[in-house]
Amino acid sequence: MDNFINSLFYRKSSVPCLGCSDRTESCHCTCKHYADWVKKSKDTTNKIHKEKTMQNLIEQAKTQRAIKKKLGGKLYER
């Protein structure tokens, strides 16, 4: 049973462990480092998504202001 549990957590990988650069099954820190990497990756992705969303909102506001100026101060809603 212990071998089965170990195989779930300490699998051999072609990617070296982020902590010790070990490519073998003896690397017992792979799971923790991989989990940390996934969390950091998700945080970075969320941050990039938020920044892009803010940029899009700023661009929309600029476009609406430009349209409003062209229409003589009247902004028509679609």
- CA dist 9 and 17 (Å) reads 13
Distance CA 17, CA 33 (A): 7
Classify residue 77: in a domain, yes or no. no
- Is residue 78 one of the residues assigned to a domain? no
Q: How many Å apart are CA 54 and CA 69, to the nearest integer? A: 23
75, part of any domain: no
Q: Is residue 37 part of a domain?
A: yes
Q: Are 9 and 31 in contact (CB under 8 A)?
A: yes
9-44 pLDDT tens trace? 555 444 555 555 555 445 555 566 666 767 777 888
| Tokens, residue 9 | 């957590």
The count of structural domains within the chain is: 1
Query: Which of residues 40 and 60 earns the better pLDDT score?
Result: 60
Inside any domain, residue 25 = yes
Query: 76 in a domain, yes or no?
Result: no
pTM listed for this prediction: 0.41
What is the largest distance, in Å, between two alpha-carbon atoms of the chain? Answer: 77
- Where in the sequence is the domain holding 16, given as residue range(s)? 2-70
Residue 61 maps to a domain: yes
